[in-house]
Amino acid sequence: MDLYSKISFQISKSVTTHYSTSFSLGIIAFSSKYKDAIYSIYGFVRIADEIVDTFNGHEKQEMFEEFRCETYKAINRGISTNPVLHAFQQTVNRYQIDREYIDAFLQSMELDITNTHYQRPLYAKYVYGSAEVVGLMCLKIFCDGKDELFNRLITPARALGSAFQKVNFLRDIKSDLNERGRIYLPGISNSSSITNDEKTKLEMEIEQEFRSALPGILQLPAGSRLGVYSAYLYYKVLFKKIRRTHVNELMQRRVRISDLTKLILLLTSIITIRFQK
């Protein structure tokens, strides 16, 4: 059983490293006691996202329902024959992650099966479930039973998750439109409605959320602070590049950060956090 659990976490790690080099770089900066649990969270959310985004030509709704059922069976049983779900349930049960967060996440992912655009307040619900609760799951791990600290950091954790997701929305406009037929700008229902003014409105939201998130990051336990701050810094730099890019250009190409810049940002984070101590 110990071997199976070890392999399950390794598979979640493999899912993470193959799908997101940026996220993997941030996890490297975490204390070893957090890494397996964070990999298990990412592995879980990645598989759910793949079902709704890339399983084209298959019964997505049916497969997603099966995934939802298997998720809760795994949590209730304390075991699963699906290695990613087995690792996830161990983390959920170990850190007492609220089922409401899992419900909200799955509900948002399910919306993507049929929805092509989002009006408010459904947009706010989608962002909460697709991103904010993932940050809260991670916060549960970082706080590790320290409820007073967790409650104090809920608001900045939600702000950070929301900011990350909205940056992704802007970065991925081209692929979301061309590959998935979706638009994640609130109130926009078709590509001809996307203007630089709409982009600016969303950027103002993101800027405020980044400001709200930073004080919370600096209060995180030492073993998690560097990893979260490095992700924050990466997204801030990506956001600055996106702000300088006209929306019409975003619909033609994806803004990226080079691997060298990512490494420099990680080193900058190390220096900043050590000085902050």
Mean pLDDT score of the chain? 93
pLDDT exceeds 80 at position 12: yes
Question: Of 118 and 66, which is predicted with more confidence?
Answer: 66
Domain ranges of the chain: 2-276
pLDDT number for residue 126: 97
Confidence of residue 220 (pLDDT cuts 50, 70, 90): very high
Is the model's pLDDT at 23 over the cut of 90? Answer: no
Q: What's residue 277's pLDDT?
A: 55
Cα 68-42-166 angle, rounded to 5 deg: 95
Give the burial string for 211-249 (b: 16+ CB within 10 Å, else e).
ebbeebbeebeebbbbbbbbbbbbbbbbbeebeebebee
pLDDT score at 63 = 98
* ∠ CA 141-25-185, rounded to 5°: 80
CATH superfamily assigned to domain 2-276: Farnesyl Diphosphate Synthase (1.10.600.10)
Write out the two tokens for 130: 């697709």
Taking the model in full, what pTM does it have? 0.93
Give the dihedral sign, CA 229/170/42/212.
positive
**Predicted pLDDT at 20:** 80
| pLDDT tens-digit readout, 88-108 | 999 999 999 999 999 999 999
pLDDT tens, residue by residue, 156-202: 999 999 999 999 999 999 999 988 989 998 888 777 678 888 899 99
pLDDT band of residue 29 (cuts 50, 70, 90) is confident
**265 has a pLDDT exceeding 80:** yes
Torsion of Cα atoms, 9 then 15 then 16 then 19, to 10°: 180
pLDDT of res. 267: 84
What's residue 264's pLDDT? 87
Residues 6+ apart with CB under 8 A from 75: 88, 89, 92, 93, 99, 102
